[in-house]
Chain A
Amino acid sequence: MKCIVCMTHVPDTASIIRIGADGQHIDETGIKWIVSPYDEYALEEALQLTEAKGGEVTVMTYGPQRAEAGLRECLARGAHNAVHILGGEKTLGDSFAIAKVLAAAIKDREFDVILVGVKGVGTDNSQVGQMLAELLDLPHVSNVVKVEWNDGAIVAEREVEGGHEVVESPLPAVLTAQKGLNEPRYAALKGIMAAKRKPVEKVDPSALGLDEDVLAGAEATYNLRSLELPPEKQAGKIIQGEDDPQAAAAELVKLLHEEAKAF
């Protein structure tokens, strides 16, 4: 099985977010960058699949120079090949532009499945996988928590409100990975050493027939006007209940019922 995994390199989810001087982007000082957590499930699924059935895993990112560290992390965990499409600063958050770049990079490659994360943390769009599927004229299943890999087809379970949908799809297809799909591995020292020797294929968007200035200009579909921190929350009413929990509970219920009218 030939698997393509799309990876996005994002601020660690524990990062403190500050707004940069332009009022449109985050201040990147002190930010630690990681493989987007859902992409780890996508990668793990591809690794397990190729370990069981043979084949290879190609991990791909469209991002700035620093995203190479994310590709190296994936190589260290066992991905066979890495493709780095350089750029992405100007199209940040524009899912359709990103999907167009990835589709252009993927269309002439051989693959059985494309695995992406259900959501790139940070921009939090949950759109790129589905758009990529449409651009490549492939079926997709999103929010996948379980896959049964059969010959040329899959049975996947996707999480929905109040249950699971069981979806059948032929391959090739695009799957978006949700937590629960598997337990991502850590890179072993041996893998980290081996990854240093594996090449990372560098691709310029222009080699794909794309111009980032056009993608972020005339063809842009996402215009970021401003980025702000959430409004400061007013201090809440905190009741000390260590000594008399009964009285504290009574007061809380009264406040919720009469003041907040919450039930």
Chain B
Amino acid sequence: MSGILVFVEQRDGSIRKGSLEALSEAHRHAAANGWDVAAVLPGSGIEGVAAGLGAYGAGKVFIADDANLKLYSAEGYAEAVVAAAKQMTPHAIFFSATAMGRDLAPRVAAKLGVGGLADVTGLTLEGETFVARRPVYSAKAFATVDTAGKTPQVISLRPNVFSAEEAGGSAEIVKLDGLALSIRAMVKELVSSEGGEIDVAEANIIVSGGRGLKGPENFALMRELAELLGAAVGASRAAVDAGWIDHSHQVGQTGKVVSPTLYIANGISGAIQHLAGMSSSKIIVAINKDPDAPIFKVADYGVVGDLFQVVPAMIEEIKKVKAA
């Protein structure tokens, strides 16, 4: 059997959206070529979750159900993925380029003696070779790359770029038994940040604030707009370095790379290192009082004006639209 193996990430039994995107992308290529798609799902007490993956195109789900896999470990999870890969001998292994995926994929690749194509934003298939497009130099350039004929082709897909679609199938469950788990570095605890806010890396809409907010108290305005839109709150490094908001909100070169459907930059000038984190957003909106701010060069929509006047007015307008 050959085809595409997809690593599926779950936490407490809920599947990450990025994994469904990776499964769907695998299904699209496999369906066009008569290949199989299988998922590999490590965790503990996850059998109930596995069956649902059939709907996204997995014909088979390899599950590694073990109390030692309840929390993430690169070594344990890599063991499970490699065991599934040995059974399937896939052309490619897909990961979602989440924190977990980017940690795990290179470990798996090295275990299998191959390299990896990380954080890809476009993928085509030529024969059995995946040709990937990936942002490099902080998205100031794009590289077109392949794995130089090495298989399996280990590829991580940037979250929120590929669409997740139900394919309406059902999956056969295969248990991976007898895994030789030797785990040295092990997650002991997952500490969730402030009041279960949506993380920028996972959000569909991001409302971001920069130095133009003038002080920490004005992030309340960002939160109000974000809440209305079901969005996450992002920030520039200037706002983070000033101590107005935690680094986990920072977007950019030394923050998170995001690609939401909608990114609203408020009082952010659009420095190249900020653009590095958000230029692959589908729709970019800028609100800035300086008509020459570089952010307007990448913006699809923008308002030149004082954010302290524009944003409250936007909030009112959105409420009206939502009420209609």
Which residues of A approach B to under 8 Å, CB–CB? 11, 13-17, 19, 26, 37-38, 93-97, 99, 121-131, 133-135, 138-143, 145, 155, 157-170, 173, 179-180, 220-230, 233, 236-242, 245-246, 248-250, 252-257, 260, 262-263
Please tell me which one of the listed residues A16, A127, A239 contacts residue B302 in the complex, with CB atoms under 8 A apart: A239
Q: Known: A127-B106, A228-B141, A263-B229. Contact between A165 and B190, CB under 8 A?
A: yes
Please determine whether B144 and A225 come into contact, CB atoms closer than 8 angstroms. Answer: yes
In contact, B313 and A228 (Cβ under 8 angstroms):
no
**B310 lies within 8 A of A263 (CB):** no
A168 and B186 in contact, given A236-B296, A248-B303 (Cβ under 8 angstroms) = yes
- The answer to whether B107 and A96 touch across the interface, beta carbons within 8 angstroms, is no
Question: Within the assembled complex, what's the spacing in Å between the Cα atoms of A97 and B109?
Answer: 12
Residues of A within 8 A of B291 (CB): 238, 240
Name the CB-closest residue of A to B147. Answer: A221
Do the beta carbons of B110 and A135 come within 8 Å of each other?
yes
- C-alpha spacing A163/B72, complex, angstroms: 14
Assembly CA distance A140 to B105 (angstroms): 13
Bound CA–CA A254/B316 (angstroms): 12
Q: Does B15 contact A (CB under 8 A)?
A: no
Closest to A145 in B: B247
Set A140, A163, A230: member contacting B107, Cβ < 8 A: A140
Is A227's CB under 8 angstroms from B142's CB?
A: yes
Docked pose: A125 CA to B145 CA in angstroms:
12
Question: In angstroms, how far is the closest chain B Cβ from the Cβ of A95?
Answer: 6
Check A131–B107 contact: CB distance below 8 A.
yes
Residues of B within 8 A of A15 (CB): 137, 140
Once the chains bind, are B139 and A230 in contact (CB under 8 Å)?
yes
Q: B129-163: which have CB < 8 Å to A?
A: 131, 134-150
**Per-residue 0/1 for B281-298: is the Cβ within 8 Å of any A Cβ (1 yes, 0 no)?**
001111001010000111
Instruction: Name the B residues within 8 Å of A129 (CB-CB).
Output: 106
B310: contacting residue among A95, A158, A241, CB under 8 A = A241
Chain B residues near A226 (CB, 8 Å)? 143-144
Our pick among A130, A168, A224, A248 for the contact of B188 (Cβ within 8 Å) is A168
| Additional pairs, 9, CB under 8 Å, beyond known A142-B103, A242-B304 | A19-B141, A158-B99, A162-B196, A164-B191, A168-B188, A170-B185, A223-B147, A237-B300, A250-B317
Known A140-B185, A236-B299, A239-B303; judge A245-B310 contact (CB<8 A).
yes
How far apart are the CA atoms of A17 and B139 in the complex, in Å?
10
- The answer to whether B110 touches A96, judged by C-beta atoms less than 8 angstroms apart, is yes
Q: Which chain B residue has the least Cβ–Cβ distance from A249?
A: B313
Supply 28 A–B pairs (Cβ within 8 Å), ascending by A. A13-B253, A37-B253, A121-B138, A124-B138, A130-B74, A130-B104, A135-B110, A139-B185, A145-B247, A160-B98, A162-B197, A163-B191, A165-B72, A166-B189, A167-B188, A224-B143, A226-B143, A226-B144, A227-B144, A228-B144, A229-B142, A236-B301, A237-B301, A238-B291, A245-B305, A252-B310, A254-B317, A262-B283
Residues of A within 8 A of B313 (CB): 245-246, 248-250
Stretch from B23-31, B49-57, B111-119, B172-180 forming part of the interface with A: B111-119
Contacts of A121 in B (CB 8 A): 137-138, 253
B306 CB → nearest A CB, Å: 7
B190 near A99 (CB under 8 angstroms)? Answer: no
Contact A166 B188 (CB under 8 A): yes
Given A130-B106, A139-B185, A159-B248, also A252-B298 (CB < 8 A): no
CB distance from A117 to the nearest CB of B (A): 10
Interface of A, secondary structure class, is mixed
Chain B, Cβ-Cβ closest to A127: B106
| Residue B221 lies at the interface, judged by CB distance under 8 Å to chain A | no
> Which residue of the partner chain B has the closest CB to A161?
B199
Q: In the complex the two chains form, is B310's CB within 8 Å of A248's CB?
A: yes
Most buried by A among B98, B145, B286: B145
| Interface segment, one of B38-46, B86-94, B254-262 | B254-262
Contact A249 B310, beta carbon cutoff 8 Å: yes
Minimum distance in angstroms from A233 CB to a CB of chain B: 6
B116 touches A124 (CB 8 A): no
Is A127 touching B118 in the complex (CB atoms < 8 A)? yes
With contacts A95-B116, A161-B202 taken as known, whether A134 is within 8 angstroms of B107 at the C-beta atoms is yes
Chain B residues near A167 (CB, 8 Å)? 185-188
- Which residues of B from 213 to 247 have beta carbons under 8 Å from A? 229, 247
For the complex, what is the distance from the CA of A6 to the CA of B95, rounded to whole Å? Answer: 26
Structural contact, A225 and B199, CB atoms closer than 8 A: no
- For the complex, give the distance between the alpha carbons of A165 and B190 in Å: 5
Question: How far apart are the CA atoms of A173 and B107 in the complex, in Å?
Answer: 14
Q: Which of B75, B105, B141 contacts A17 (CB 8 A)?
A: B141
B205 at the interface (CB under 8 A from A): yes
CA distance A86 to B143 in the complex (A): 25
B146 and A225 form a contact (CB under 8 A):
yes
| Beta-carbon contact of B137 and A222 below 8 Å | no
B32 within 8 A of A: no
The complex places the Cα of A257 from the Cα of B317 at a distance, in Å, of 11
Known A-B contacts A14-B273, A169-B185; A97 and B115 likewise in contact (beta carbons under 8 Å):
yes
Q: Are B148 and A221 in contact (CB under 8 A)?
A: yes
Supposing A142-B103, A161-B99 touch, asked if A229 and B141 sit within 8 A by C-beta, the answer is: yes
Is B201 in the interface zone, CB < 8 Å from A? yes
* B285 x A17 contact (CB < 8 A): no
Pair A245/B309 contact, Cβ less than 8 Å:
yes
